[in-house]
Every structure is written in C-alpha cells, then in structure tokens.
Chain A
Amino acid sequence: MSYLNALRLHFAGQFQANVSSVNNDPDHFNNATFRPNYQKMQGPGGVPPNGWFNPQGDAAFRLRGCKVTAAWMPSGPVSAPDKVISYIIADSDEQAPAKLVDLDSEQQLTSEIWGLQVRIADQEGNTVMCSDFEAAAFMDIWGRSTGGGGDVNAGAMYQSVLTNVTWGDVSDSPFLTALQQASADGLLSIKFNVDGLSMDFQSPDFMCGRIAGTIGPAAPDEPQQLLIGRQFMADCPVTGGFPFPNGQINFFAGVVDGEGGNIYLDLGNALPTATTGGAMVDLGDLTLNVYDPLTTPANPAGTLTPLGTIPASEYIDADWYSETAGVVALPLNAAQLQAIASAQLVLTGNPGVTISEWSSGAFVRADCFVYRLSPGDQPQISVYATQWGRRLPGVDISFEADPSQLQAQADLPVAIPPEALGLKTGAIATTDNNGCAVLTLSPTDPGTPRYFGNGADYGIDGQVYGIRPSFVGTQYNGGPVNQWNFISVLLWSAFTPSNPVTWADLQPTFQQYANLYPVMNRFLNLGDYNSVVANAGLLMLAFGLNPGDPNVMPVTRDLSLAKRNAILAWLQKPLPAPTGWQPVTPARKAAAFAPTAAAAVPLRKGGKTAALARRLILQKK
C-alpha cells in the first residue's frame, strides 16, 4: 500500500529550494585559499564565477501555492461537496522552513529535504492534517526539459513517508475520513516530482520550480522511499550532462491492483517537457503492452499485446500534469491481469518511444540510499528485491563499491581509502520473506584524504563512497541499469580534540562554515572568536538540535558527531582564544584567479550540471 493507490490525492504548485551555491565548488572548502569574492554572486554569464549562482541561499525548502487538484477513492473521482478538493497542501505554520541539503560537495546528486512538515489545510490555512516528511533524497534525476540547458532542465522525484500524522476535523470530507482510516498506523505515503527550476536571480521565481505530487496511505511493512511495484527501466546513454533516455521516457513504476482491476502507472517524472516546467512533449498515444518473447520466423521480435492506451491528447493537455501528477490508471480484465502476472510490460508511443521492465521483471534498490556515518557505526542498510512487482525472497544481493557517479574534483579523490568504508569484498546478503536484504557496514576512520595542500591544510571532512546493489544470480538481470540506483555514504573522519577543547581545535571548522554560508553573516561571524562567544547560547541551541529539526546547525548536516560534541563542549565554557589570535584573513595564499569563459559555462548552468561534469565515470573515459 502506497501513494500509488485507488485512494489518493494529487496536488500541484510551486516549490522553493533556496540552496547556497558557494559549497558547490569543492575548492571553496579550502580555508587557506578562500577569497571574499567567493561569497558574491557570479558575474554575467558566470564570469567571474565568484560564489556561483546563489551564494546567499539559506537552503530553505518551501511549498508555495500548492493546491489539491484531484482526489480519488476506489469508487472514482472525488467531487463537491467533499471539501478536500478545495484544500491546500502546505508546509509548516509552526516551525521554520525545511531545508534542502546535499550530502557532500562531491555527491550533489542526492539532495535531501530535511525538517519538512506537510499539511493539508483549508484555504484559510487551518490545518486538517499535519505530518513530518521523513528526510529523503531525490531519485531519477534527468534532463526532462528538452530546451535551454543546465539545472533548469532537470526533473527529479522524491518519495517518502509522512510520520507523526495528526488529524483535525475531517468530517466534511469522506475522502479524508477514508484516508485517515487507511493510515491507522500513523503513516502516509507521499511522492512528488520537481522540475522547472528558475535560476534567474532577478525573477520572482528565482530558485523556485514546479511541484506535482500524490499522497496516499502507507503500510508500516513497506519500504518508505520505494514502491513495491513494476519497475520500468530507462536506457540512458552516459553523457556529461543530465541523462536522457534513448526511449524518451524516464524511469517510472507501476502498481497492479488486482482487486480493483487496474494498473496504476506513475508517469510523473517520466515524460519530457518541451519547455522548462511546461506541458508534456507529444510522444504519441502511449500504449501499455505485455510482451511475449516467443519468437517464430514469422514473428522474430516476439509479440506485444496492447493492454490500454493513454491518449496523447490527454497527457499533453496543459492541466493534465497538475491534475494527475502523472498518475494514470488503466483498467485490466481478469485475463489481462493473468497475462501480466509474470510477463514483461512495455510502454510504447511514437516510433522509438519505448520503455520496459527488465526481461526478468526483477529489480533491486536500497530503500534509504543516503547515509552519513561515523567510524564505528554499524549501519544496517535495507535493500528490496522484487520481480513482476512482487517481493522476491531468498535471492542473493551483492554489494560492490561503485564511486562512478560521485563528482570528484581534481586533487580531491573520492572513495579512498576504500577499506575505511567497511564493505567486505564480495559482500552478499540474502533477501528475507519480505524481499528485504540487509547490508551491514563496519566503517573505520578514513583519515583526512580530502585535506588540501597534500593533507596539510584543512579541507573536506571525511570521504564519500558509493555502493551498488545487484543480483548475484545473472538470471535476474535483463535490461538497463539505473545509474542513480546506488547507496551514497559520507563517512566522517575521526576527530579527537584537545582536552579541554580549545578554539584552535574548532576554528578551522567554524571558519569553513563562515566561508561557505554567507547567510550566516546575517547572524554572526563564525570565523571570529569574539562573535562566536557572544552568540554561544544560540549556537549551543542550534548545534544541539536533532538533525531532523529545520534549525539544526550546520544546515548542511555535514558535521561529524565527534566535531559536534566538541563544539557543544567548548560552547558550554569557551576557553580564551590564544593570545594574539586574529580572525583569519582569507586568501592569504591565493593565487590570482582568472577563469576562462569556457570553464564558467557549467557553473552558469547550475550546481548539478557542474557536478555531473565532474563525475568519476567521465574522468575515467
């Protein structure tokens, strides 16, 4: 049971993701060479790059103007007088805005939303449902828009659960009453698609984009960020930019509802748009087929049997996307349900437009796929295997180091030392009756492989790694691999401060945050002893919050527990700064910086675009 269900609502509107861009450049983590202009907006056309496209970003993630656009019950579409169709989807009205956070400067392609409350409210803002969005990262990012270039073209999707669900008076909405009853475990399932980001700093839509999503019930035994469903796998050539599938349709999932006689397809992040945030490209009528691989001389390609069609006239309509969030239900009769039970599904459109399940119908992916770890942690990472949309028990899953999609900067290698990740060579885990296999890591101290100046100068804490789960049994493979389907780990360096902790222990960390997040200048100078001491009370509060709190410092959630504890211990009773201590003057060692126009191009196009161009997989070519 998930959002992709007969009982669901759709919503659409705008999101804001006001991320800071200074930390998009790994070289900006070098305190010794940081220059004041790295905190300034980039110049015209990205020259000079300065602090890139939004140096003053505060990381806020907001829902703006999101309205319930449709709701469905097993009996059909919901209409008046059910109040839900007049309601809004809003973020919190009782805590600070949520935050959008990269895992690391060298893994910017799993941006997570932290501290988001999701509410259903009436048009006056009165809450009828309040919940906490379990932090999750985007998946299946691609070059959705075929025009323009860079981050503004990108589309991606988020799936997670809503926890701590509380309900107001829903008696005037049969739909919400049913949803409340279906979420007896206090969980709801949510999935939304984001695209159409504006990077024009003079536009009222700056750092905003389009959001369209779906909310439905969730069951506690389901994965939280992944559908147990039919997985359509896109074949994407590896390029230096956002992937775009050969078959023009991006990864998506479907769920068969045997009882209701339907298959639900979530095309919300699967169909390209002609303009950023615009209507869908006409790919022709989209037909769902079941494939029979039996070939004969007269029929060398096997047989596609149509099951149902989504007319082009329907999905290219300007309102289709906001009213459905891309979810389509196709009715299936008993014979069709039987035919697809263990057979490959293929979605086709105009010539060349196609996407299908693997020929094996199998799929494996980690539920949560982003981890922040300290040496000594013993994380248990759940991956789920499915076949033909059903859980696949008793199969072996292998886990291999795969840093290919991480975005290494020259001289800042990723994934070394490999052994620190604590991933055994040839690691295998077997799925249980729920199709779930658990990988346990035993990470150790990676040292400081990303310090600058050959390790002499403070740099990026810890190391990033990638782990790719795969089937051991080759019979389960049978189609294109999703490059984004891997587990990302940020493993922090061990840190042992002086006892008691001194300013000298912490100053590099504070200085780095002061450099990377100019928004902090509105509150204090984190690089200055006196300013930090003067604000010790507020800093203790902010550094002491739970990572799920929207106000935790650092917003980037990239501070190790060891350093956090040292900071809290020091703030409790700050020792005097060493005699003669002065705030660091940035750039004391910096060389003159004269970027070429060509080097600035990826910067101008956005952080994700620039990160994509740095991927290891490209560097090795």
Chain B
Amino acid sequence: MIRLQRSMIAGLEGPAPAVESVWTALQSAIELEHATIPVYLYALYSLNPASNQEIAGIIQSVVVEEMLHMTLASNVLNALGGSPQIDQPGFIPTYPGALPGGVQGELEVNLAPFSTTQLAAFLQIEEPEDPLNFPSALAETDTITIGEFYTAISDAIAALGDGAFVDPPRNQVGPDLMYESIVVVNVATAQQAISTIVEQGEGTTTSPEAVVGIGYAHYYRYMQIQKGHLLVKVPGADPPYAYTGAPVPFDSGGVYAVPTNPSLSPYPPGSVQAFANDNFNYTYTSLLIALHELFNGAATDDQMNRAIGLMMSLKGQAKGMMSGIPDPSVITGPSFEYQPVNPKA
C-alpha cells in the first residue's frame, strides 16, 4: 500500500470545506489515476504476447479501469464547476519518482519492462487498506492512504451538499461514451463515482470483487500473476476464494529488453531510438490534448473516437518500437514525456 502526503487533503476537513480545495484534491486524483497508466502500459507492451498473453490481458484490464477512474474524477470535478487540467507538461509524473502526492522515499515508481520486481511495485500501488493493520492512530500522522484520500474528498463533497453542483450537468463523459462511467450531478452520484474508483482499485472491505465492473479489484488481479493462477471462487470455503484457477504463466524470456526509465539516459538526438520515441511522445501529448478537450466541454462521440484513435496509435507504436521493428537490433522504450512538437525541440 502506498501512502500519500497529508497535504493532498488540505482544506477538505472540517464542516465547511471550500469548493476550491475539493477542486485541487480532484485534480490531484486525476493526476494520480493517470500516473499509473504509463507504468502499466510500459510493462504491458514489453511483453511478447506470444508467450505472456495471460499476464498482458490482466494488465490491460487494469489500465482500462484506470482510464475510467480518470474519467470519473474528471466528471466529479466538472460537476463541481472545476476544470481538469490535462494538456500540460506537469501533468505527467517523472519516472523514476513518487506517484503524485506520494511520500518521497516510500515507493519509487519506474517505467520498466515487466518483471517480478515490477509486479511487486504494482501490488504495492494497488494494495488495499486493511483497517485491522492500520489503526486509526495512523490518521494522525503526516501520511494518508489512497482510500483515506478518496474518503476525505467524498466527505468534503457531502459537506458541500447538492447545492455545490452545477445544474444542468456540466462537461460529463457519460456511459454512452465510456463503459461504466457515471454522470455526476449531485452528492450521491459523486460519491458513487468515487466509490467505484476505490472499489475497482481495492475491492470492497469484505470482498476482492468490486461492486461495479467485471472481475476482481486490481490488487487481486495482479496477485494472480504472482500466484501463477487465476483467483476463483470456492463456495463453502473460508475465505471463499483461492488462487487455484487456470495457470497464469510468466515466461521471463518473453519480455523485450527495453531500458528502465528511458528518460534518465535520453536517446541521442538523431538516433533511430530518438526518432521512434519522439513520434510516440508527440502522439502521447496529442492524446493528453484530446482528453483535455474531451473533459472540458467536447464530450462527443467524435472526440472520444479521436482519443481512442490516439490510444490505438500509441499501442501500435509502442509494440513496434519495443519489439525491435523495423530493426531487431534496436529496441526502444517510450519515455512518456510531454512533447508538443515533433521532433523534440
């Protein structure tokens, strides 16, 4: 479980939080939900699908939900009159580094090819908060859990009340555009959106299964990789779940030899690797711009299709460059950097 700085919930506590404080926290939430996506995608696309298809499928399923969480947090922010800020350099974390709001020195997140070490980091990111292990005294410290972060936002929204919500619904990306999305119009729908984020990430307090969505919470999905088997229900057993399903094999030979944290040793300007990386980063930046527009008033089919088109382009580019296309002797890992001109200025 990772811990966040208590400053992430500054201004949320107390009976009358300022709406601006909630905006700030929700912007942090959007950045936090986004921050894991490059990390998961880097691992995902480093896998040779011919030998690591099951693992790839698991990571892919988590990424899709992280995108939903970004959307849900944006919907809540928009519903409260705020505006998600996505198309700017600071939106992307630096790798290696802490997650947005994370406690320095606790978990350094790397852009790295898939490995058991990287899997351990994924598990740490997604580990649920266990109240038995974390007594309330901890809340008095300088750090909070992701669960506490979202609970603080949820409580502050309740304190703001339905009157804080823009009527009619504002800049909402609804389920017509994104599966399982929620149109946020009041405290109830905002809290529903937030609990979806938390439960898909952590599960409920009583079950590894999220209330909304297919399958298990992220932690348990990743744990299937570590255990080497799918998690299945075992009726009558205590607990009624076990990692005894179909095998989830890891072929360590089926991972492309991409560098870890490519931005630490930038590809030489003019090199084959810089060429591919620049194309990728320009497309990635284009995606952030497209999403910024999607979340700031252009919630249309066309805009969503443009964003999906950019995601597919990124997928194709990443899989190509990481698998040594066109030259098998040159492997390139995308550095996920903000780059609004091509090539990099």
Choose the segment among B8-16, B97-105, B206-214, B320-328 that binds chain A (4+ C-beta atoms closer than 8 Å): B320-328
Give the complex CA separation of A92 and B286 in angstroms.
8
Given contacts A123-B341, A541-B305, A545-B305, contact A203 B272 (CB under 8 A): yes
8 Å CB interface, B238-291 against A? 270-272, 274-275, 278-279, 282-283, 285-286, 289-290
B327 adjacent to A96 (CB under 8 Å): no
8 Å CB interface, A496-550 against B? 519, 522-523, 538, 541-542, 545, 549-550
Give the complex CA separation of A65 and B344 in angstroms.
9
A interface SS class = loop
Question: A196 → chain B, closest Cβ, in Å?
Answer: 16
Give the complex CA separation of A283 and B149 in angstroms.
73
**Does A169 make an interface contact (CB < 8 A)?**
no
**Does A202 make an interface contact (CB < 8 A)?**
yes
Question: B123 → chain A, closest Cβ, in Å?
Answer: 27
**Does B345 make an interface contact (CB < 8 A)?**
yes
Give the complex CA separation of A54 and B343 in angstroms.
22
A538 adjacent to B312 (CB under 8 Å): yes
B312 adjacent to A41 (CB under 8 Å): no
Give the complex CA separation of A93 and B292 in angstroms.
12
B285 adjacent to A93 (CB under 8 Å): yes
Give the complex CA separation of A311 and B275 in angstroms.
37
B306 adjacent to A65 (CB under 8 Å): no
**Does A451 make an interface contact (CB < 8 A)?**
no
8 Å CB interface, A10-41 against B? 16, 41
**Does B309 make an interface contact (CB < 8 A)?**
yes
Chain A residues bordering chain B, tally (CB within 8 A): 40
Given contacts A58-B316, A523-B312, A549-B309, contact A95 B341 (CB under 8 A): no
| In the complex, per-residue mask of B322-345: 1 if CB is within 8 Å of any chain A CB, else 0 | 000111011000000000111101
Give the complex CA separation of A91 and B342 in angstroms.
9
- What A residues does B327 contact at CB under 8 A? 201-202
Which A residue's beta carbon lies closest to that of B268? A204
Which B residue's beta carbon lies closest to that of A550? B309
- What B residues does A97 contact at CB under 8 A? 279, 283, 313
Give the complex CA separation of A95 and B317 in angstroms.
14
B interface SS class = helix
**Does A62 make an interface contact (CB < 8 A)?**
yes
- What B residues does A93 contact at CB under 8 A? 282, 285-286, 289, 340
B325 adjacent to A551 (CB under 8 Å): no
B272 adjacent to A90 (CB under 8 Å): no
B340 adjacent to A124 (CB under 8 Å): yes
- What A residues does B326 contact at CB under 8 A? 41, 54, 56, 201, 206
Give the complex CA separation of A140 and B326 in angstroms.
30
| In the complex, per-residue mask of A117-133: 1 if CB is within 8 Å of any chain B CB, else 0 | 00001011110000000
- What A residues does B317 contact at CB under 8 A? 58
Which A residue's beta carbon lies closest to that of B298? A94
Question: B197 → chain A, closest Cβ, in Å?
Answer: 23
- What A residues does B320 contact at CB under 8 A? 56, 58, 519, 522
B312 adjacent to A551 (CB under 8 Å): yes
Interface size class of B (residues with CB under 8 A): 35 or more
**Does B319 make an interface contact (CB < 8 A)?**
yes
Give the complex CA separation of A454 and B270 in angstroms.
50
**Does B310 make an interface contact (CB < 8 A)?**
yes
**Does A64 make an interface contact (CB < 8 A)?**
yes
- What B residues does A523 contact at CB under 8 A? 312, 315-316
Give the complex CA separation of A203 and B274 in angstroms.
12
- What B residues does A551 contact at CB under 8 A? 305, 308-309, 312-313
- What A residues does B272 contact at CB under 8 A? 202-204, 206
Give the complex CA separation of A58 and B327 in angstroms.
15
- What B residues does A90 contact at CB under 8 A? 341-342
B340 adjacent to A125 (CB under 8 Å): yes
Question: B86 → chain A, closest Cβ, in Å?
Answer: 12
> Which of B275, B316, B319, B341 has a CB less than 8 Å from the CB of A125?
B341
- What B residues does A203 contact at CB under 8 A? 272
B342 adjacent to A64 (CB under 8 Å): yes
8 Å CB interface, B198-255 against A? none
| In the complex, per-residue mask of A58-95: 1 if CB is within 8 Å of any chain B CB, else 0 | 10101111000000000000000000000010111111
Interface centre among A41, A94, A97, A519 (most CB of B within 10 A): A94
- What B residues does A206 contact at CB under 8 A? 272, 326
> Which of B274, B286, B308, B310 has a CB less than 8 Å from the CB of A541?
B308
Give the complex CA separation of A205 and B271 in angstroms.
9
- What A residues does B330 contact at CB under 8 A? 202
Which A residue's beta carbon lies closest to that of B328? A41
A522 adjacent to B316 (CB under 8 Å): yes
| In the complex, per-residue mask of A455-493: 1 if CB is within 8 Å of any chain B CB, else 0 | 000000000000000000000000000000000000000
> Which of B270, B290, B325 has a CB less than 8 Å from the CB of A56?
B325
Which A residue's beta carbon lies closest to that of B282? A93
B316 adjacent to A95 (CB under 8 Å): no
A94 adjacent to B289 (CB under 8 Å): yes
**Does B293 make an interface contact (CB < 8 A)?**
yes
- What B residues does A95 contact at CB under 8 A? 286, 290, 306, 309-310
- What B residues does A63 contact at CB under 8 A? 342
B286 adjacent to A204 (CB under 8 Å): no
Give the complex CA separation of A16 and B325 in angstroms.
16
Cβ contacts A to B, 18 pairs, < 8 Å: A62-B342, A88-B341, A93-B340, A94-B293, A95-B306, A124-B340, A201-B326, A202-B329, A203-B272, A519-B316, A523-B312, A541-B305, A541-B308, A542-B312, A549-B305, A550-B309, A551-B305, A551-B312
> Which 10 A-B pairs give the minimum distances between C-beta atoms?
A125-B340, A551-B309, A522-B319, A96-B313, A96-B309, A125-B341, A201-B326, A204-B275, A56-B325, A204-B272
